[in-house]
Structure 1
């Protein structure tokens, strides 16, 4: 849980983020595979079947907001939290090129696309944080 952050609103979970050092990605993959999980969960496969992070970056794997809390700054607060908690790190994330809402949030926060690549059959931007 050391790489997961939760944002609550009035006692309810509104969203979460997951981030980690890119050079630890394969270690996290092994930890997932070593977990005791129900067969129905394990049937989904590995959550990280391919490397997404560069070794020299801290990588924001997930930013998720429940639908009823979207538009209330939850994603922004989650991303700002990890950026502030680890100010001296180089930060990155990947975002589907068609996800206009997420792209808008990330650009406002200071992320810039520096490449495009295929991730799980969808084109994504690899975005790097440019501190303001």
Structure 2
């Protein structure tokens, strides 16, 4: 298995995995409940730059020439900038200049926004490999950094995986009226 930075050309594989991980949140991010439109909007954002869903923020797990998993990662201090294109589109669509997105990442952490593995490849260590690649990518040469993620409070399998990888729950965050557990890991040189 190889972990590599995503390319624009990965969009056909990445979008179904993003939708698999994010479920109803995709409806909120796109402002649509029509799957063809959701796919078109998500593809546009993935292939675009300087937004949270961009290929620029994505790692791909590839096995036997097939992309089998993705991980989207960015620094929390960049969240407002990366969310701006999504918010501007939603404000225009809904004709509501006050519309915002719920805050997911803290300012002082790297944030794993999305982690998704094809069900066909589940249980093969791909999620662990993607997380470890993300940690290595952001691990500072000197000093320390934090990396965090949110997990649905009812997703026990994912919660156990994150605990096994030394992520610790530090709070509960409400995202789109649903509670998520915020889990964090300190990274050292």
TM-score, reference length from structure 1: 0.83
Identify the residue that residue 51 of structure 1 maps to in structure 2.
103
Runs of 4+ in structure 1 over 3 Å off: 31-35
Gaps of 5+ in 2: 1-54, 95-99
- Cα offsets for 1:53-109 (capped at 9, x unmatched): 000111110100111111011110000001011113211111111101111111111
SS of the equivalent of 1:128 reads: strand
Identify the residue that residue 109 of structure 1 maps to in structure 2.
165
1:121: Cα distance to partner? 2.6
1:116: Cα distance to partner? 1.2
Gaps of 5+ in 1: 36-41
User: How does 1:1-132 map onto structure 2 within 5 Å?
Assistant: 1-32=55-86, 49-88=101-140, 89-131=145-187
CA RMSD of aligned residues (A): 2.1
Q: Report which structure shows greater RCO (CA 8 Å, sep ≥6).
A: 1
TM-score, reference length from structure 2: 0.59
The 1:34/1:122 distance shift into structure 2, 3 A limit, reads: closer
1:34: Cα distance to partner? 6.5
Q: How many residues align?
A: 122
SS of the equivalent of 1:2 reads: helix
Considering fraction of residues, name the structure with more helix.
2
